Structure 1
Amino acid sequence: MPDSSIPLPGPAVVEIVETVLPAGDVWTRLVALFDVVADRVAARLGTPEADAPVVVSGDCLVAGATIAGAQRAGLDPSVVWFDAHGDVHTLRSSTSGYLGGLALRLVLGAHEELFAAPLGLRPLAEHQAVLVDARDLDPAEAGYLAGSDVRRHGVEDLQAALVPGGPLVLHIDVDVIDPAELPGTRFPAPDGPTQAAVLDAVRRVLDTGRVVAVDIACPWHPARDEQDTATRARLLAELLTAARNGL
């Protein structure tokens, strides 16, 4: 991804996570990278004078590392997951093979031998997950959610009383915003909430005072022009400001 893919605001203090990826399959390489991310998150949470961690990436899979990092810091977080999609596929149910579509289900323990166990992630119980929006579900995802203890709420319905108690990791996939306001996402889902509604809901979660880390996923195509870049930069600036004020 080019440096311009995630246009963070100038004043933001950005720490790039890099590591030498080992030979092996995609799971081996993901775990190697995410192990470093989890350590950085844990270090931030274990240093009182450091800013609370905000992890920004190109897709939702890194949320597993953010949660694992909170666990390494001695916390037992639940997750509030903003997304246009469910991200609760398994390798068996996925028709595309896109691993980002498994992201939340991996956190809940799917394919534990491939992801959670080697990463040292303790899978969350279903009742520890709140899925916000998820307006674009495949049939297999809808079937799973209908029989699970994962809580689902709309963006505008989400209130502090509806999120689990204890520490929280707040995950925001920017494609939760209607694509008319945020063009260029890789998996656009029409009829979504406005950016303003999403930001208001995010602030309501942050206002609980229990969010220990924020995870922002930006699964979008390269910007088509300066207007796209400016739109994305403004969104990220607002999300980072909200996180900075709420953490």
Structure 2
Amino acid sequence: MKRRLLVPFLMGQRRDGLARVCELDRHDWQVVQVDECQATAIADRGEQMRSMGKVYGRLATAVRDIVRAGDVPVSISGDCVSSLGMLGGLQQAGRPPERILWLDAHGDFHTWNTSQTRYLGGMPLAMLVGRPDRRRDNRDAIGALRAAVGVTPFPEQRIVLSDARDLDPGEAEAVAASGLVHCEISDILRHLSPAERLYVHFDTDVIDAEAQMPALKYHVKAGPSLADMGALFRALRGYNIVAVSVSAWHEEKDVENRAALACLELLRELEPEPQPVREPVKEPQKEPQKEHAPAPRRLRENAYAFQKY
């Protein structure tokens, strides 16, 4: 059974608007609450990293408990760094994935050395695989974040990145030189095995659907459509998916909840189709056989007399 988690945070900062998902979906959602993290904007980078560690550590605990109960966690969060909490929870439960499918218009493979903006949201995949990443003062802030969450690096050779059509200078070279499998959406299934434990991470900006989903973050043209993603998710129904995480949209710009509803519909595509209920086959009723009444005694005696003479 799938258990749903809502993480109303963006890079350690509260985003309560994401809670609308709970009202739009028929499933029950467990909201990951962190009472000590209430700020909606954090200017200090160190404080933000500490807040992220608390949020994703709490997510890891929730994921661990769900997996130990025999269920599959599905999360929606404000950013891709939440993948640290998802992977950490799977590892802590003793059920780590054997393969990760990372769906994103971007590479998310920056480090402090390659990033010009130092935006943490461009680094989560590099964080996930444990890329060496020290600041100028030689502080391993990313390593400290991983330790706070309780996650260990995942082998980059076991990650399929698609389609990552918008790579920055420095990042593109890092992806090309890595062990990541970087492919188009149409080639994904060639690199997956249905029997492997698969963790699917899905950033909604991988979709090129600005008209249908105007609240998407960092829209990039020339990507897969909603229909393309729906077809991929239906193809994955028979795979051994152990976790799904979604990086969300600009919830404050989501007019008529169009992005939220489209995302929820895509998640439903991962669900197996309900099997039709078959009516039990009714056995045709047999007509009761008529019992023949014994011949009257006089007739039997007459027949005997006829045979005698």
**TM superposition score category, shorter chain reference:** 0.7 to 0.9
- Equivalent in 244, 247, 265 of residue 238 of structure 1: 265
Report the residue type matching 1:99 in the other structure: L
Distance 1:140 1:47 in 2: 42
> Does the Cα contact within 8 Å between 2:104 and 2:203 map onto a contact in 1?
yes
**Aligned residue among 21, 29, 53 for 1:7:** 21
> Which residue number corresponds to residue 99 of structure 1?
120
- Listed as ranges, the matches of 1:23-172 within 5 Å are 25-48=47-70, 51-77=71-97, 78-110=99-131, 111=133, 112-159=142-189, 161-163=190-192, 166-172=196-202
Instruction: Name the amino acid aligned to 1:55.
Output: S
Shift of 1:117: 2.7
Shift of 1:203: 2.9
Give the residue type in structure 2 aligned to 1:191.
Answer: A
Q: 1:141 to 1:5 in 2, by over 3 A?
A: farther
* C-alpha deviation, 1:145, in angstroms: 0.9
CA distance in structure 2 between the aligned counterparts of 1:206 and 1:152, rounded to whole angstroms = 22
Partner in structure 1 of residue 32 of structure 2? 17
CA distance in 2 between counterparts of 1:43 and 1:106 reads 23
Query: Using a 3 Å threshold, how does the CA distance of structure 1 residues 204 and 6 change in structure 2: closer, same or farther?
Result: farther
Which of 208, 231, 236 is the aligned partner of 1:205? 236
Q: Distance in 2 between matches of 1:207 and 1:76?
A: 19
CA deviation after TM superposition for structure 1 residue 27, in Å: 1.9
Equivalent pair of 1:7/1:232 in contact (CA under 8 Å): no
SS for the counterpart of 1:215 is strand
What is the letter of the counterpart of residue 207 of structure 2?
Answer: I
Query: Which of 227, 230, 240 is the aligned partner of 1:196?
Result: 227
Higher RCO structure (Cα 8 Å, ≥6 apart): 1
TM-score by length of 2: 0.71
- Structure 2, unmatched stretches of 5+, are 1-14, 38-43, 134-141, 274-309
1:179–1:189 Cα contact (<8 Å) kept: no
Q: Give the 4+ runs in structure 1 shifted more than 4 A.
A: none
Deviations 1:194-237 (A, max 9, x none): 011012213323422x11010011132522532xx1x2233122
Secondary structure of the residue aligned to 1:172 is strand
Cα RMSD, aligned residues only = 2.2
Following superposition, the deviation at residue 75 of structure 1 comes to 1.8
Number of positions where the alignment pairs a residue of Structure 1 with one of Structure 2? 239
Highest CA radius of gyration, 1 or 2? 2
Take 2:155 and 2:31, find their aligned partners in 1: how far apart are those partners? 31
In the aligned structure 2, how far is the partner of 1:224 from the partner of 1:213? 26
Q: What secondary structure, in the 3-state scheme, does the structure 1 residue paired with 2:200 have?
A: strand
Match of 2:300 in 1: none
Identity in percent:
29
Structure 1: where are the runs of 5+ without partners? none
Cα deviation, 1:41-65, whole Å, max 9, x if unaligned, reads 11111113xx421010111110111
Which sits farther off after the overlay, 197-206 or 102-111? Answer: 197-206
Name the CA distance, whole Å, in 1 between partners of 2:247 and 2:237: 17
Q: Match of 1:133, as an amino acid?
A: D
Go from structure 1 to structure 2 and tell me whether the alpha carbon gap of 1:232 and 1:144 turns closer, same or farther (over 3 Å shift).
same
The answer on whether the counterparts of 1:42 and 1:70 sit within 8 Å (CA) in structure 2 is yes
Question: 1:213-232 counterparts in 2 under 5 A?
Answer: 213-220=243-250, 222-223=252-253, 225-226=255-256, 229=257, 231-232=258-259
SS class of match (2:88): helix
